[in-house]
Amino acid sequence: MATSSDHLAALVRSYSVEEHPSTSTIPTQIAHGLDRQQYKLIELVKSLRELLIAEHDSSRAKGQLLQPVRTQLATEQPTRNSIDRSKLDRQSTNTLTTFFADKLSDKPLLLSCASALAALTESPTFGTGEGVQVARASVAAPAPASILRIDLATDPTPTSSIRLFASIDLQTYPQASRFVVYQLVDALMSRSRPALKRLGREFIKGYSQMVEGEKDPRNLMLSFNLIKVILLEFDLTGSIEDLFDVTFCYFPITFNPPKDDPYGITSEDLIVALRHCLSATPYFGKLALPLFLDKMQAASEKAKPDFHQRQTLQALIICFPIYGAAVCGEWAGRFSEALSIEVFHATDSSMMELALECLRALYSTLYPDTSPVSITTTTIQSDEKDGDAEMPAADADEITTSAPTGVEGIAIKVVQNSLDELREPDKSNAKPAVQILNALICSSDRLAAYVLSVTVPQLLNLYKDPDEIALRAPTLVCLADLLSSLSPLETPAPLNSTAPADAPISFPPPTLPHAEGASPLEPFRDELLSVLTSGSRSASSRAPAMDGLVRLVRVPAFLAPPEVEYCISAIDDVLIGGADAESSSSFTEDDYENALDGLVLLAALHPRTVESSTLPKLFERLPTSAETVPFHRSPESTRYRKALEALAALCAMHPDLFEILSLRLLARLEGISSTPTPEVTPSVLLYAHHLLTTLKAVLKTKVEREDDDVVKYIEKFAPRLLGLFILPTVGPSSGSNGIVTDVRLLHDVAAIITVIVQRLDAGRQIRFAADVSAAFQSGQLEALLGESVKSAPMQVAFDPLGNGPTAQRNLILLYTASLIPIRPAVKLSPDQDINDLVRGTLRRSVQAKDEIQRIANLHLLGSLVNKRAPELVPCFEKDLSTIWTDNIEAGPASTRAIALHAWSWIAKGLVVRSEQRGYDMVSKIVELFDDEVLGNAAAQALGVIADESDQVLSKDNFAVLRLLYKQRFCSFVLPKIVAGHDEALCNPSVLAVHLVALSGLLNHIPKQLTLTELPRLLPLLISALDLPDPLLRANVIDSLKTLTLEETLSETLELNIPSIVNKLIKSLANEIGSTKELITLRSSCLSFLQVLPARVPYHVLHPQKPMVLKQLAQSVDDPKKQVRKLAVDCRSAWFTYAG
């Protein structure tokens, strides 16, 4: 009878002859037998003996049977039938470890053995001894006998020393095998770190030898992470140079990832990982700093100097604080010189910013406020050029604690060099010199105090020098930039972001105290105020003086409140003068812009001062009645528009300022709203429009910034604003008030209400929707408008949804603006069923006499259908078929078109939420393409469904939008359009309808879908270039231009480019006119023609070049300037177009 060992041997033999061992079930059977103690692990090893000592690699590789068996035993399986890993005891783990470790040097088995050992480390019985054994077998270098004896004596596992070292020349293996070994070491580092620490220098030496010469980025990422852990946690005695050699040799990283890299490793990943290694220990300092300096000095000779220099500077920014003052002090002079050169001769602003940040990191290390510094042995010689020749190495006994305000050493030389440059503030080196001083100021408080104490008086004295009046403006520029270093950062920005060339580079300011006379600026307080305010009165120095005032005010707690008001008043004078620049020769438009920018910054810090000083001067420029409103384009109208612009910018910065703005502008609106229609001039209407658009602009700014105070204006602001337009329609002069009946103003108010309602929570929306419904459906105005109703004379019933006068019916704009942003879960009316509400809206949209009322009802109809479709099933089932048969298929042409418009909005509400009923309605629209009366209207209806520009069905309005709804809609209708076009080739009128439909959809089709369908769509697009509608042709041309600008030009498009060019030339030659549509068409043609030379091979368009140039010679004389400019640019591109 066969024993269990015989059965096991039979399984091993069967495994050895299988052609595809990776799919075999034998490892699972053996693992279950071991789990049930049917087999013993030692028997399995004995059964593999013949395979493991075979001469052929292919046979010997079958010895990896242990690896899948081990996986079954050691790896926890999250399935119900998982094997009990408790059967893998300590002895079994040690046996497996010894076995796999012995085979690591066998090249065919390395991959499987390393994978097995990595997984084995997850076993709870994998201990320190096993970790030591695996580490020695994989990476540890041979150690002296004494070390070896110590390890053997302390090793808790006697058998773990069977295999001490393995001779693995890792770089001779392919990348996949090397990666598995790195994963093994990573697993040991994660789970058996104490074992690696026991090996100490032995492990570090072996690992350093193993990774030497590694070039694969995936392996390097693992290696860098492992080295970082070693540097942070291991005893590095005697190992610093080994680790440094295998780390710094990769600096700087030159790796460029291949296109479509499956591993997704970028050069930035490697740069950051290497940077973390180099900054992981201060012991690298003496080795790394001279090499960093060499890299900086040699960068200009490299193929990509900026790339290498950027890496060097970014590394130094992190490394300087880690390496410490003692080491950095040895090289401070040389680095100061090199970094100063980089600042003065930077290739771009980002490189300058890095160099300045590097200087800041160096000097914050050398001159900390509370730590020792290595600068006491430094002496400065003015004739020394080397920068560090006078700074010997600073040993520990040379490091002393300097006084908090004491500054000596290399900083004095750097500051003096910058001061020398500032003696000529009008020269190009002055700005970099100030930026170097700013970097030093931001390094530490004591450096800041020193720099300010020597720099500010020099600049003030230079400004006051009567012989240097021409230098006053550039001196103030330098002074303003210097003060910017003491101000809080306006907006955080990444270090390597690109800033405008003239923008001051900002760092976190020092923590210097400025209150109660403690500021280093205190001795210069009066002089600064005097110089900056007097400079703001001079045209030549006004801009830098205002910058200086703003930055001085922004110095925390330095100026007293009266001084702040004094500075803001000086800026106000410039703002008002700049606003009147057209009538004043001493101020310019730039003065106004600069003053406004400065006040915007100060409004957030000192809102009360801006409220009391600036706002009254602006409000007094706003007319208070219709009689005082100036004519359009007059200087007075420019004054109030400038005032509104300034108020909008300032009052968006603080909630209290906006509340004042809203009340004052409403008061102005009330002052002109009672004007009778005969006295309402276009200027008065324009003024009201400007007041409302100012409110709308500030509200949108606050919403984008997510200010919390917006919601409260539904109670404080909305009732008063709505009352201005509703109450006059129920009074004795109903319909005769020109302000409240102006449609443009109604649109403005509607936009304001929408912005506020969008921000309301569900509870507030419930109350507001109920008040709106009561007012517009039942005429009950009290809840919506509040106390203002009681004092208003009411002689006409309020019935805007019924038979009210036109002035009331136009207020449907306010009704829809109030309900469209309501959430789907909010009930719109407590008394009215949603189906009845939709039917009434549908009826009004069909019966409306005014286009404004019709569009407003259609928007509300689409919103209601979209958000409440599940509740509207009775309405859909009962009313849709009736609308189609009675109003669209039959009836007068005008009524049919209006009903079709309503049908398309219902379909739109359903399509964006991917309802099948919506697609059924779209199919019916497509069926109308053959209708002689409604064909064009049906074609345009598809564009209405796809259009998102009206923002009615948007996330801001809480519409229900399904993912990829637009792709699904276009994929649904495009085949129908193409098929209908092909079927209508003999019917020109129907053919044109399909082209109109396609042209209207082009701007809304996702680009990828267009590219996919291009072979089928392109013939239609070319035919659409002959449509009579210029806007539709412009849509087609813009879409073709977008496709042409794709990274890879479609072969189908390239073949048809000549025929497209011919049609464009024809359009340019024939469509000469001054209408907006024709100008748009010509502009689109020229824009498309301009991109062709760079995208299409010359041989394709060579025959068309003479015709194009001939036509462009005429287009450069086009009556419209924008067309002429496009024609000139286009002709330049075609002149240089050659093979």
Q: What is the pLDDT of residues 1053-1097, one digit of tens each?
A: 888 999 999 999 999 988 888 888 999 999 999 999 999 999 999
What would the pLDDT profile of 632-680 be if each residue is shown by its tens digit?
888 888 899 999 999 999 999 999 999 999 999 999 998 888 766 666 7
H or E stretch covering 754 = helix 743-758
Query: Tokens 């493991």 correspond to what residue?
Result: 52
What b/e readout covers 75-112, taking b as 16+ CB neighbours within 10 angstroms?
Answer: eeeeeeeebebeebeeebbbbbbbbbbbbbbeebbbbb
Q: Is the pLDDT of residue 131 over 80?
A: no
Supply 59's token pair: 């046979």
Band the pLDDT of 305: cuts 50, 70, 90: low
Query: Tokens 């006994």 correspond to what residue?
Result: 397
Cβ partners under 8 Å of residue 707, min gap 6: 655
Supply 710's token pair: 């917006």
Query: From the CB of residue 1043, how many other CB atoms can be counted at a distance below 10 Å?
Result: 18
Band the pLDDT of 69: cuts 50, 70, 90: low
Query: What pLDDT is recorded for position 648?
Result: 95
Q: Is the pLDDT of residue 79 over 60?
A: no
Q: Is the pLDDT of residue 118 over 80?
A: no
Q: Where would I find the H helices in 192-284?
A: 193-199, 201-211, 217-233, 240-248, 267-278
What b/e readout covers 706-717, taking b as 16+ CB neighbours within 10 angstroms?
Answer: ebeebeebbeeb
Average pLDDT, the chain: 83
Distance CA 167, CA 163 (A): 11
What would the pLDDT profile of 729-781 be if each residue is shown by its tens digit?
887 765 556 787 889 999 999 999 999 999 999 999 999 999 999 999 988 99
Q: Is the pLDDT of residue 87 over 70?
A: no
- As a whole number of angstroms, the longest Cα–Cα distance in the chain is 119
Amino acid at site 171: Q
Query: What pLDDT is recorded for position 678?
Result: 60
- What residues pair up with 373 in beta bridges, in sequence order? 400
Contact between residue 819 and residue 838 where contact means Cβ atoms under 8 Å apart: no
1126-1138 mean pLDDT: 93
Query: From the CB of residue 280, how many other CB atoms can be counted at a distance below 10 Å?
Result: 22
Mapped onto helix, strand or coil, the DSSP state of residue 963 is coil
Band the pLDDT of 42: cuts 50, 70, 90: low
- Lowest pLDDT segment from 599-603, 907-911, 1023-1027: 1023-1027
Answer left, alpha or beta for residue 50, where phi above 0 means left and psi between -120 and 50 means alpha: alpha
Half-sphere exposure of residue 108: CA atoms within 13 angstroms, side-chain side? 14
Query: What pLDDT is recorded for position 1126?
Result: 94
Terminal Cα distance for the chain, rounded: 88
Distance CA 140, CA 1023 (A): 75
What would the pLDDT profile of 806-861 be if each residue is shown by its tens digit?
889 999 999 999 999 999 999 988 878 899 999 999 999 999 888 999 999 999 99
Mapped onto helix, strand or coil, the DSSP state of residue 735 is coil
Band the pLDDT of 196: cuts 50, 70, 90: confident
- What residues pair up with 737 in beta bridges, in sequence order? 676
Q: Is the pLDDT of residue 938 over 50?
A: yes
Mapped onto helix, strand or coil, the DSSP state of residue 954 is coil
What would the pLDDT profile of 241-288 be if each residue is shown by its tens digit?
999 999 999 999 988 888 777 788 889 999 999 999 999 999 999 999
Query: What pLDDT is recorded for position 547?
Result: 94
Band the pLDDT of 972: cuts 50, 70, 90: very high
- Lowest pLDDT segment from 123-132, 875-884, 1087-1096: 123-132
Distance CA 758, CA 703 (A): 9
Query: Tokens 């293996």 correspond to what residue?
Result: 173
H or E stretch covering 1019 = helix 1007-1024
Supply 1103's token pair: 């025959």
Mapped onto helix, strand or coil, the DSSP state of residue 543 is helix
Query: What pLDDT is recorded for position 58?
Result: 63
- Lowest pLDDT segment from 65-74, 186-195, 219-228, 981-990: 65-74
Q: Is the pLDDT of residue 34 over 90?
A: no
- Lowest pLDDT segment from 129-143, 179-193, 346-360: 129-143
Contact between residue 581 and residue 588 where contact means Cβ atoms under 8 Å apart: yes
Contact between residue 917 and residue 910 where contact means Cβ atoms under 8 Å apart: yes
Query: What pLDDT is recorded for position 55?
Result: 64
Nearest to 252 by CA among 209, 296, 191: 296
Band the pLDDT of 161: cuts 50, 70, 90: very low
Q: Is the pLDDT of residue 220 over 60?
A: yes
370-385 mean pLDDT: 40
pTM over 0.85: no
Query: Tokens 């109308």 correspond to what residue?
Result: 928
Query: What pLDDT is recorded for position 138?
Result: 66
Distance CA 119, CA 96 (A): 11
What would the pLDDT profile of 614-639 be if each residue is shown by its tens digit?
999 999 999 988 888 888 888 888 89
What would the pLDDT profile of 478-504 be if each residue is shown by its tens digit?
999 999 998 887 643 333 333 444 444
Distance CA 330, CA 947 (A): 67
Query: From the CB of residue 530, how many other CB atoms can be counted at a distance below 10 Å?
Result: 12
Distance CA 613, CA 602 (A): 12
Would you call 1121 exposed, middle or buried from its count of C-beta atoms within 10 A (0-12, 13-18, 19+)? exposed
- Lowest pLDDT segment from 174-178, 237-241, 1051-1055: 174-178
Distance CA 351, CA 341 (A): 12
- Lowest pLDDT segment from 91-95, 182-186, 1034-1038, 1121-1125: 91-95
Supply 856's token pair: 């407003």
- Lowest pLDDT segment from 47-61, 244-258, 763-777, 991-1005: 47-61
Angle at 1055 between CA 1053 and CA 1060, to 5 degrees: 70
Q: Is the pLDDT of residue 717 over 90?
A: no
Q: Is the pLDDT of residue 353 over 70?
A: yes
- Lowest pLDDT segment from 194-208, 504-518, 622-636, 980-994: 504-518
- Lowest pLDDT segment from 479-493, 661-675, 874-888, 1113-1127: 479-493
Q: Is the pLDDT of residue 920 over 50?
A: yes
Helix (H), strand (E), coil (C) string for 1071-1121: CCCCCHHHHHHHHHHHHHHHHHHHHCCHHHHHHHHHHHHHHHHHHCCCCCH
Looking at per-residue pLDDT, the higher value among 141 and 805 belongs to: 805
Supply 563's token pair: 């001084």
φ, ψ of residue 573 to 5 degrees: the values are -60, -40
